[in-house]
Amino acid sequence: MKAARLYGPGDLRVEDIATPGIPDAGWVKLRVDAAGICGSDLHNFRTGQWISRSPSTAGHELTGTVIAIGEGVDTVAVGDRVVADSRFWCGDCAQCRAGRRHLCGSLGFVGEICDGGFAEQAMLPARLLHVIDADLDERVAAMAEPLAVALHAVRRLPKTTGSVLVVGCGPIGGLAALLLSRTFAGTVLVADRNQARCARVAQVTGATIVDLDRDAIAAAAGNTPLLAAVEATGSIAAFNQLLGVLDSGSAVAMVGIFHGRLDIDPNLLVEREIALLGCHAFADELPDAVRMLGELSEPLLALIDREIGLDEVPAAYERLLAGRSDGLKTIIRMRQPVEPALVFDKLAERILT
């Protein structure tokens, strides 16, 4: 089968590898239907920070159809359509026992600690799989995992009657803006140096585009205080600008993957009571995200940047790292050949009805 495998920093290869065999006890074999490219995939490709095995098949945002199950698996059945939890937790550490699997002391991720979804088939533990509606668009289903990440960041923010600013209209920032536009009572603002992408998010979510300027933000928000923000760029420069426009008593959900280190005066945080809230993956939001997929299908589809095949993954990495996108998510679709018998059956069904 074909797979996109990461060998080292800057070394991603699409190649033919052996098809997975019979699943071990507790594991499930999937035919991958679609997968999304994540900013953390790009970060790992660029830096090698999370490479723990080489080569490894990348991709932790995936949806597929169960084609085989291992001994003892009773949570899914052959033929089920599923999405995957990206987190590979131990289950034994203090954090896992307390229900905080996203903070597991030895946490790894699908596509790193085990092979992921940039392949025609994948093998995953049954505990990571969530059954979805059989009629759900596979492109929408592939966005369940990043939607859960965005939902976790949004839920980390305190309730406020002021305005909220999302800095960075990439996948997580854009999805956070979508969620906030449906749940937040105040004004939702978005900022991104990629004007086309920011415009797409604003059009789909109804958010207002702003520059990171205090007067511009105050005018756009109707002079309501800016008390909440989502930092989804991972840019030191953008973060420093954000601190300059926040009102006192505000909170920032930090979900971007940063390159470099912060150099800030901690007294700024103390005297203005600004709370920095780290947001790592998601806690228990994935089932809620899955339940939202149906009602959010239309805006999610409108936020897709491109749909590609496996052979196009390396070029997509290059394009995304260069910032050449006007949508949120590049979706890899595994276009499976349709069996002639299936085509005939469907045609016959239409004629008889």
Tokens of 61: 């945002």
> Model's pTM, two decimal places?
0.91
Q: Across-strand partners of 167?
A: 191, 231
Tokens of 92: 């034994």
CA distance linking residue 158 with residue 250, whole number of Å? 9
3-state secondary structure the chain: CEEEEEEECCEEEEEECCCCCCCCCCEEEEEEEEEECCHHHHHHHHHCCCCCCCCEECCCEEEEEEEEECCCCCCCCCCCEEEECCEECCCCCHHHHCCCHHHCCCCEEECCCECCCCECEEEEEHHHEEECCCCCCHHHHCCHHHHHHHHHHHHHCCCCCCEEEEECCCHHHHHHHHHHHHHCCCCEEEECCCHHHHHHHHHHHCCEECCCCHHHHHHHCCCCCEEEEEECCCCHHHHHHHHHHCCCCCEEEECCCCCCCCCCCHHHHHHHCCEEEECCCCCCCHHHHHHHCCCCHHHHHHCEEEEECHHHHHHHHHHHHCCCCCCCEEEEECCCCCCHHHHHHHHHHHHHC
Torsion (CA) 184, 306, 332, 39 in degrees, nearest 10: -50
In b/e form, how buried is each residue of 166-184, taking b as 16+ CB within 10 angstroms?
bbbbbbbbbbbbbbbbeeb
Q: Which of 129, 149, 147, 128 is nearest to 139 (CA)?
A: 147
CA distance linking residue 30 with residue 33, whole number of Å? 9
Q: Cβ distance 32 to 121 under 8 Å? A: yes
The greatest distance separating any two alpha carbons of the chain, rounded to the nearest whole angstrom, comes to 74
104-144 confidence digits (pLDDT tens):
989 899 999 999 999 999 999 999 999 999 999 999 999 99
The residue to which tokens 């300059």 are assigned: 244
Q: Cβ distance 138 to 333 under 8 Å? A: yes
- pLDDT tens, position by position, for the chain (353 residues)? 999 999 999 999 999 999 999 999 999 999 999 999 998 899 899 988 888 899 999 999 999 999 999 999 999 999 999 999 999 999 999 999 999 999 998 989 999 999 999 999 999 999 999 999 999 999 999 999 999 999 999 999 988 778 999 999 999 999 999 999 998 878 999 999 999 999 999 999 999 999 999 999 999 988 889 999 999 998 999 999 999 999 999 999 999 988 778 888 899 999 999 999 999 999 999 999 999 999 999 999 999 999 999 999 999 999 999 988 888 999 999 964 444 444 334 434 444 44
Tokens of 4: 């996109």
